[in-house]
Amino acid sequence: MPLHGFIKSFMENYIPISYINDFIFCPRSIYNHQMYQNRDELVYQGEVQTKGKAAHINIDNKRYSDKKNVLQNFEVYSVKYQLFGKIDVFDIEKGLLTERKNNIKTIYDGFIFQLYAQYFGLAEMGYQVKEMALYDFSKNRMYPIQLPENNRIMKQKFENTLEEINEFSLLRKGFSANKFKCVKCIYNLLCDASLC
């Protein structure tokens, strides 16, 4: 098997880190996101998503820092948890992993689990993460997040969420939509659950 084919089949069973927060918001949003993945984002993204993307422009273009000890928009993966994705910023010297968000009103589990996934990916790649934080771009404020080994309850919730993602089926009976989330969902026009 050629290397490209091996990597593709290897990664097919891996979960994108970005799916974790999406899944917690609504498991169906992952499916709906796939429907739009090759479309222009302006077709389906709202103001919140556009502002969030703007907070990442310098990271995505690797212009956040010119220091060699700062990784930005760096790809990571975890074999143990079968996850892959990109980190925003990791300062190797300080051991500080930072996830940038725009206008944090609440620190959701999904935000924390996103950092956990990045943490485990970096750790498996040989980097030493000493601290983690969410950075609110709009308020220029850092929110420290405990490392997974210092918060066993959240680590267990993280692992349970990954298990739920792996076992989820759109055909599963008993799914009930959250009407308050449906109103905010950018995919609500596509989803029959939002009609409830």
Say whether pLDDT at 152 is over 50: yes
Residue 115 confidence (pLDDT) above 90: yes
User: What is the C-alpha separation between 63 and 111, in angstroms, rounded?
Assistant: 23
- Between the CA of residue 82 and those of 74, 118, 170, what are the distances in Å? 17, 12, 21
Helix ranges restricted to H, the chain = 3-12, 18-25, 27-36, 47-54, 57-60, 109-124, 152-167, 179-184
Among 127, 48, 138, which Cα is nearest to 89's? 127
Asked if 140 contacts 102 with a C-beta cutoff of 8 angstroms, the reply is no
Residues 33 and 170: their CA atoms lie apart, in Å, by 14
Q: Give the relative orientation of helices 18-25 and 109-124 as an angle to the nearest 10 degrees.
A: 160
- The tokens for 45 are 């993204």
At 59-107, the pLDDT tens digits run 555 555 666 799 998 999 999 999 999 999 999 999 999 999 988 999 9
> The pTM is what?
0.77
Distance in angstroms (rounded) separating the CA atoms of residues 190 and 181: 14
Token representation of residue 53 = 């993307």
Q: pLDDT digit string (tens) for 158-184?
A: 999 999 998 887 777 666 666 766 776
User: Do residues 126 and 79 make contact, with C-beta atoms less than 8 angstroms apart?
Assistant: no
Average pLDDT (11-30) is 83
CATH architecture of 17-195: Alpha-Beta Complex (3.90)
